[in-house]
Structure 1
Amino acid sequence: MASLHVFVCLLGLVVLCHSQCIFQELMIKDLKNPPKGCVDNDGKEHDFGSEWVRDCMSCSCTRDGLSCCKMIPDPDAENIPAECELLVDKKTCSAKVVQKSDNTKECTPL
């Protein structure tokens, strides 16, 4: 029984850790006036070495560029059994796979 619990936990980690990331390379337009950070899609500048979370995206700025990864998986990209669904909480940027018939119970593997 303990092995089943370990397997379920590992399965959950695989589903929740599978994330989509984007990287935007730092563009230097003027060598005399190099950038002091990264500019996000909203036009906000972030200092090199900074990290932040916005809309369940974990982002960081380095001298190489801007990197952002989804904190919650895409339900369409996951292999979720038909009797289960991905329950997403955007307030906490978390997700879990639960039974469709009772979303208080997490799904167990076949």
Structure 2
Amino acid sequence: MASVGVLLSLLGLVVLSNSKCIFEKLEVQDDNPPTGCVDKNGEEHKFDSEWVEDCMDCSCTSDGLSCCSKLPDENAEVPEDCELVLDKEDCSAKAVFKWDKTKECSPI
């Protein structure tokens, strides 16, 4: 039942941060219980581990692999006179004025 609470908490974070999350449930194959989670690159991560991959905060639990983007959705709302600039190398985002991209504007 605790995993349901964790899942609901993660869903709440998705709404608040306007970012993308994924969850992959662990599957038992050939009656061999998994010893961890395998990421998209084929690397295995032990249970209760956390890492960052492609601007995603990832974690592995006995329930499965969970990853949430550190960046807001590119369609996130910003004030009308601003635009969202994503830096995928630094995993950062900021809203800047459309007429002066060197000046940050405050979100609503």
TM-score tier by shorter-chain length is: 0.7 to 0.9
Q: Which has the larger radius of gyration?
A: 1
Residue 46 of structure 1 deviates from its aligned partner by 0.8
- In structure 1, the residue matched to 2:7 is none
- Report 1 or 2 for greater relative contact order, CA contacts < 8 Å, sequence distance ≥ 6: 1
TM-score of the superposed pair, with normalisation by structure 1: 0.74
2 CA distance for matches of 1:62 and 1:108? Answer: 37
Unaligned runs of 5+ in 1: 1-15
Between the two proteins, what is the percent identity of the paired residues? 59
User: 1:20, 1:107 → 2: CA distance?
Assistant: 23
Alignment partners' CA distance in 1, 2:107 and 2:43: 43
Cα displacement (A) at 1:109: 5.9
Over the aligned positions, Cα root-mean-square deviation in angstroms equals: 1.9
Following the alignment from structure 1 to structure 2, what is the Cα–Cα distance between the partners of residues 43 and 18? 28
**2:46 alignment counterpart:** 47
Runs of 4+ in 1 over 4 A off after TM superposition: none
Tell me which of 98, 105, 108 is aligned to 1:107. Answer: 105
Cα distance in 2 between the residues matched to 1:109 and 1:52: 29
SS in structure 1 of the partner of residue 101 of structure 2: coil
Cα separation, 2, equivalents of 1:72 and 1:25: 23
Q: Deviations over 1:79-110 (max 9, x none)?
A: 22332111112222111111011122222468
Q: SS state of the match for residue 72, structure 2?
A: coil
Task: Tell me the number of residue pairs that the alignment of Structure 1 and Structure 2 aligns.
Answer: 93
The structural deviation recorded for 1:18 is: 2.2
Give the corresponding residue for 1:19: 19
